[in-house]
Amino acid sequence: MAKGLGPVNVWQEDMSRPPEPAPGCETCAALAAQRAEARARFDASAQTDANVLMRQHQRSEHA
């Protein structure tokens, strides 16, 4: 009896790989700009915030 490997819905947040802004999306562009600005001032927590917001936005808008 073969063991079926069904779709495994493990919610995997890959924190090591920041989300990429979707081309042509204003919200993504704004968050990317926010992240770049945070990076420029070495603000790691603001960068994380921008990444979290971008993920949430992409999950609801670009799913």
Footprint of Zn ion (CB under 5 A): 22, 25, 27-28
Give least dist CB 59 to Zn ion, A.
10
Between 38 and 54, CB nearer to Zn ion: 54
Q: Give the Å distances, CA to CA, from 12 to 16, 25, 26, 52.
A: 11, 24, 26, 13
Give least dist CB 57 to Zn ion, A.
5
Between 28 and 38, CB nearer to Zn ion: 28
Backbone region of residue 19 per phi and psi (left: phi > 0; alpha: psi in -120 to 50; beta: other values):
beta
